[in-house]
């Protein structure tokens, strides 16, 4: 199972929006509405930010939103704040009880 | 509150095996699946497999099939991940994560365990 493809980096100024893409195949992202997004600060465990493409777990700010079109999912962070600076990983269910993660994107708040 | 507490850092020689534990508390252990995910230094997250803590069923990533074994001890509310035939490329932080929400490889994560493979 190959990793999902994400851009290595993305950036924006405070208050702006940034969108991260996550491209898979018709066997994972394109076939299931089970795309999740994780935020990871240095030296910390990942934190779930989005599940089932666009749902937010309790406690996650509504500045975080997700969507999907075909084989590509996206995470948008609106109203960027300093604490949003982190690595972000997408993941997708890939069938037969398998999962796959993305290559990761480092978001920098300028 | 939910807690997943993992065992401490390990240093192993190439060819050896390592067994990492993940003790759960704050919820009914047998009600949910536990995933294992690793992250080599500076690298991406990599899914390894899961165990249904209730019935013990497992699923492993093809990459680790034959080298990884995930088990659980329901009396101790603890899941284990054992990786054998270690090589330097297995140096990584290993995370356990509880899955409650459908389609996620974990919605609540342990703190991670650093495994270093070095001669």
Whether B107 shows a pLDDT value over 80: the answer reads yes
SS3 B46: strand
What would the pLDDT profile of B15-56 be if each residue is shown by its tens digit?
999 999 999 999 999 999 999 999 999 999 999 999 999 999
From chain B, the residues in CB contact with A51 under 8 A are: 101-104, 107
How far off is chain A from B85, nearest CA to CA, in Å? 22
Please name which of A13, A11, A15, A33 lies closest in space to residue A24, comparing C-alpha atoms.
A33
Residue-wise DSSP of A42-103: TTS--EEEEBTTTB--TT--TTEEEEEETTEEEEEE-S--GGG-EEEEEEEE-STT-EEEB-
Distance (Å, whole) CA B26 – CA B52: 18
Using CA atoms, how far residue B2 sits from B26, B29, B87, B94, B109, in Å, is 4, 10, 33, 19, 10
Cα-flanking dihedrals φ and ψ of residue B55, to 5°?
-105, -5
Which of B2, B45, B107 should we substitute to test contact with A (largest number of A Cβ atoms within 10 Å)?
B45
Q: What percent of chain A lies above the pLDDT cut of 70?
A: 100
Mean pLDDT value of segment B96-111: 94
What would the pLDDT profile of A82-92 be if each residue is shown by its tens digit?
999 999 999 99
SS3 A84: helix
Mean pLDDT value of segment B87-104: 96
DSSP state letter for B90:
G
Mean pLDDT value of segment A58-72: 97
Q: How far apart are the first and last CA of chain A?
A: 35
pLDDT at A97: 87
Whether B4 shows a pLDDT value over 80: the answer reads yes
Which of A99, A103, A104 should we substitute to test contact with B (largest number of B Cβ atoms within 10 Å)?
A99
Cβ(A51)–Cβ(A36) under 8 Å? yes
Q: What percent of chain B lies above the pLDDT cut of 90?
A: 98
Whether A101 shows a pLDDT value over 90: the answer reads yes
Q: CA B51, B57, B62, B65: dihedral to nearest 10 degrees? A: 90
What would the pLDDT profile of A3-24 be if each residue is shown by its tens digit?
999 999 999 999 999 999 999 9
Strand partners, A48: A38
Chain B (46-105) residues lying within 8 Å, Cβ to Cβ, of chain A = 46-47, 50, 59, 61-63, 95, 97, 101-105
pLDDT band per the 50, 70, 90 thresholds, residue A64: very high
Strand partners, B49: B36, B60
pLDDT at B43: 96
Distance (Å, whole) CA A80 – CA A15: 5
From chain B, the residues in CB contact with A45 under 8 A are: 95, 109-112
Whether A1 shows a pLDDT value over 90: the answer reads no
């Amino acid at each position: 199972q190959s990793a999902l493809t994400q851009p290595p980096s993305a950036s924006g100024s405070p208050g702006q929006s940034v969108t991260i893409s996550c491209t898979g195949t018709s066997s994972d992202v394109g076939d299931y509405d089970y795309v999740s997004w994780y935020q990871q600060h240095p030296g910390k465990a990942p934190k779930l930010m989005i599940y089932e493409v666009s749902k937010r777990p309790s406690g996650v700010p509504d500045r975080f939103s997700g969507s999907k079109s075909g084989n590509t999912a996206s995470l948008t962070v609106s109203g960027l704040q300093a604490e949003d600076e982190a690595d972000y990983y997408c993941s997708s269910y890939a069938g037969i009880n398998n999962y796959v993660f993305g290559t990761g994107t480092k978001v920098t708040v300028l | 509150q939910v807690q997943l507490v993992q065992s401490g850092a390990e240093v192993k020689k190439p060819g050896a095996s390592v067994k990492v534990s993940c003790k759960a508390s704050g919820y009914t252990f047998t009600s949910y699946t536990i995933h294992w995910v690793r992250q080599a230094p500076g690298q991406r997250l990599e899914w390894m497999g899961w165990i249904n803590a209730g019935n013990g069923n497992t699923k492993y990533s093809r990459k680790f099939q034959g080298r990884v074994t995930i088990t659980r001890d329901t009396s101790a509310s603890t899941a284990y991940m054992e990786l054998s035939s270690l090589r330097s490329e297995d140096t990584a932080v290993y995370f356990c994560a509880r899955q409650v929400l459908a389609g996620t490889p974990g919605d609540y994560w342990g703190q991670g365990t650093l495994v270093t493979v070095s001669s």
